[in-house]
Amino acid sequence: MILLATGVGEGLCSHLREKTALGKVGFRPMKQNLNKPKFSDAAHYLSRDHHNFSFSSAHAPNLTVTPGELIHVQTWDCYMGAITNPENALLPIPEEAINGATGPIYVVGAEPGDTLSVTIHDIKPGPRGVARTYPGSGQLQHLVHEPFAQFFDVKDGLITMNEKVSFPSSPMLGVIGVAPASGDIATMPAGKHGGNLDNNLNGIGATVHLPVKHPGALLALGDMHASMGDGEICGTGIEIGGDVLISVQLIKGTTTDYPVTETEDVWVTHGVSDVEDIPGALRIACEEAAKLLVHHWGFTFEEAFIFLSVQGNLGLAQAVHPGQGTVIAKMVVPKLAACPKPFNVI
Ligand code: CA
Ligand code: ZN
């Protein structure tokens, strides 16, 4: 119950807070996006034929890029295109065949100890997505006796569920990550390397800051959703394939333990733990935010703790609970003059 209440009104409040902090008067005009990068400007294209089901430094790069270049990446839906119509909609799909991530992309100049900042300029989902429920998954699994699939049509930014229900699309990437410090981590869980973060703020305009552990970083992304709510409570978003336009930058010699997402109004730390350990995930997300406030913005620990309590919004990015894998918490921090971005670096 606590968790359900935390995200209410978050967008509006952070908007007002920033205006107050920066002393702006009146409403911020709508973004014109005149300089928004276009897919046609991309210097590179990587098709979804180039994918892996794990993050590992052992995977050979499928593309090499330089910071600043525009990269067009095609991604699969989490089912790798296997669910297309009512006839195959309930097909059981083994976990090892889910969440293929397009990549790896080698970033020239990325070294361990750096941060790889991935800006998502645009996401274009395909025309049709699917969500599924099945026994053994999600918050209401005790009520689920048979698998069920719901298709969604996506057209001109609008998602149609059925004759009654339609809503704007808010596309995002479920999976985004780099090669982990050691070993081979499947694309199903999340972790310090990113992976299946399932943060619905990882959408158009967001920058995801990832801790580099190997030369070149070895970025991969996938598991596009046309829409996903906080928690992803049934175990799926609107799973859909599509096209993503990104660019990357490096922050040299500065990093975090877990990924950090940045949007126009907020920055967001993540905490990941075993699926049974929601308190642990929440605690890590808070610790990550406090560390940034103390180390980059000169807050004392006490100031950070209290500031996060009175202005931060703690919640769950993904809680397919009870279920398998990881649970992911997020601490959403408003961009005030005192902490206008996650890292106090140029
Ligand atoms: Ca996911
Ligand atoms: Zn997904």
Between the CA of 133 and the centroid of ligand 1 the distance, in Å, is 14
317 found inside a domain: no
Each of the 346 residues of the chain gets a pLDDT tens digit; together they read 222 222 223 333 333 333 333 333 334 444 556 688 999 999 999 999 999 999 999 999 999 999 999 999 999 999 999 998 989 999 888 888 999 999 999 999 999 999 999 999 999 999 999 999 988 889 999 999 999 999 999 999 999 999 999 999 999 999 999 999 999 999 999 999 999 999 999 999 999 999 999 999 999 999 999 999 999 999 999 999 999 999 999 999 999 999 999 999 999 999 999 999 999 999 999 999 999 999 999 999 999 999 999 999 999 999 997 777 899 999 999 999 999 999 998 5
pLDDT for res 16: 35
Distance CA 18, CA 284 (A): 25
Between the CA of 188 and the centroid of ligand 1 the distance, in Å, is 7
Ligand nearest to the CA of 130: 2
Residues 6+ apart with CB under 8 A from 324: 137, 275
20 found inside a domain: no
184 found inside a domain: yes
Between the CA of 13 and the centroid of ligand 2 the distance, in Å, is 28
Between the CA of 167 and the centroid of ligand 2 the distance, in Å, is 19
Ligand nearest to the CA of 241: 2
pLDDT for res 32: 53
Between the CA of 197 and the centroid of ligand 1 the distance, in Å, is 7
Q: Note the helical H segments in 153-214.
A: none
Between the CA of 236 and the centroid of ligand 2 the distance, in Å, is 5
Ligand nearest to the CA of 132: 2
282 found inside a domain: no
Between the CA of 173 and the centroid of ligand 2 the distance, in Å, is 8
Domain assignment of residue 200, given as a range:
39-259
Between the CA of 104 and the centroid of ligand 1 the distance, in Å, is 18
Closest by alpha carbon to 173, among 197, 138, 154, 152? Answer: 197
| Number of domains observed in the structure of the chain | 1
Ligand nearest to the CA of 194: 1
304 found inside a domain: no
pLDDT for res 8: 28
pLDDT for res 18: 37
Asked whether the beta carbons of 327 and 277 are under 8 A apart, the reply is yes
33 found inside a domain: no
155 found inside a domain: yes
Between the CA of 224 and the centroid of ligand 2 the distance, in Å, is 6
303 found inside a domain: no
pLDDT for res 33: 64
pTM listed for this prediction: 0.90
Between the CA of 341 and the centroid of ligand 1 the distance, in Å, is 26
C-beta neighbour count of 14 within 10 angstroms = 21
pLDDT for res 135: 87
Give CA angle at 294 (118, 113), nearest 5°: 40
Between the CA of 165 and the centroid of ligand 2 the distance, in Å, is 21
Tokens coding 157: 């930014």
DSSP designation for 238: -
Between the CA of 225 and the centroid of ligand 2 the distance, in Å, is 6
pLDDT for res 321: 77
Ligand nearest to the CA of 199: 1
**CATH number for the domain harbouring residue 250:** 2.60.120.580
